[in-house]
Amino acid sequence: MAWQIIKQPDGLFGVFSSNVDDWIATDCTAGEVEELFADCTAGEVEELFAEDMGRETARRLADVREKVALVAAGNARKVYYQFAMSYEEAEERRAEVHAHEDGFEPAPTTAGKGEADA
């Protein structure tokens, strides 16, 4: 899954997909990010034997919680290494790819609203 959890300038989280160079979700709480990842991996977990499902679901939830905590603390590079993007970098990438499309709306400017996670 090529999704990256990114801390927004307002302190909430967004999930950016490098596959489509666009936001999967924005303005999420930590719990909402966890739910999003849980919903998206549910199909993968269902393929496991019933006895392993609970253990695998718990492992994946713990993994997402750890990622959210690291991003919230400003340590996105510990999760995504050199591929970690700030909110502004994700928005620039999104605009480069999608600006020509009908209905494209740039995100509101974030100047002066706080630091993005790098």
Per-domain residue ranges for the chain? 3-98
| Cβ contacts of 43 within 8 Å, gap of 6 or more | none
User: Are 45 and 26 spatial neighbours (Cβ–Cβ below 8 Å)?
Assistant: no
Mean pLDDT highest for which of 16-30, 49-63, 93-107?
Answer: 16-30
Tally Cβ neighbours within 10 Å of residue 66: 12
Query: pTM of whole model > 0.85?
Result: no
Least confident of 11-15, 19-23, 53-57, 76-80: 53-57
DSSP 109: P
Q: Judge whether residue 38 has pLDDT over 50.
A: yes
